[in-house]
Amino acid sequence: LLGIAVSPQFEADWTIYLYRTAPDGNQVVRAELDSLAATLGPLEPVVAGIPAAGNHNGGRIAFGPDGMLYIATGDAARPAVSQDPTSMAGKILRVTPDGAPAPGNPTEGPVWSLGHRNLQGAVLGPDGRLWTSEHGPQGGDEINRPEAGKNYGWPVITYGENYGGGAIGEGITAKAGLEQPVFQWTPSIAPSGLAFVKGERYGKAWQGNLLAGSLKFRYLARLDISGGRVVKEERLLPDLNARVRDVREGPDGFIYLLTDERNGRLLRLHPG
**Band of pLDDT at residue 168, cut at 50, 70 and 90:** very low
Whether pLDDT at 83 is above 50: yes
Asked if residue 144 lies in contact with residue 91, where contact means CB atoms within 8 angstroms, the answer is no
Q: Write out pLDDT tens, residues 94-116.
A: 999 999 999 999 999 999 999 99
Whether pLDDT at 171 is above 50: no
In this structure, the strands spanning 209-214 and 15-22 are unpaired
**Band of pLDDT at residue 170, cut at 50, 70 and 90:** very low
pLDDT recorded at residue 165: 41
Helix (H, G, I), strand (E, B) or coil at 238: coil
Lowest mean pLDDT among 51-65, 84-98, 149-163, 227-241: 149-163
- H or E segment to which residue 13 belongs: helix 10-13
Whether pLDDT at 200 is above 80: no
pLDDT recorded at residue 204: 53
For residues 30 and 20, give the distance between their C-alpha atoms in angstroms, rounded to a whole number.
11
Please list, in sequence order, all residues whose beta carbon lies within 8 angstroms of the beta carbon of residue 251, skipping any fewer than 6 positions away. Answer: none
For the chain, first and last CA: distance in Å?
Answer: 31
Whether pLDDT at 81 is above 90: yes
Q: Which segment, 21-35, 115-129, 185-199, 201-215, is predicted with the most confidence on average?
A: 21-35
Q: Write out pLDDT tens, residues 202-252.
A: 555 555 689 999 999 999 999 988 777 888 899 999 898 899 999 999 988
pLDDT recorded at residue 201: 54
Calculate the alpha carbon distances from 171 to 96, 160, 161, 233 in Å: 38, 10, 9, 17
Active-site residue, 56 included: yes
Catalytic residue among 56, 116, 135, 270: 56
Q: Write out pLDDT tens, residues 119-131.
A: 999 999 877 899 9
Whether pLDDT at 175 is above 90: no
Cα four-point dihedral sign 52, 55, 58, 59 = positive
The DSSP string of 46-78 is EEEEE---SS--EEEEEE-TTSPEEEEEB-TT-
Whether pLDDT at 266 is above 90: yes
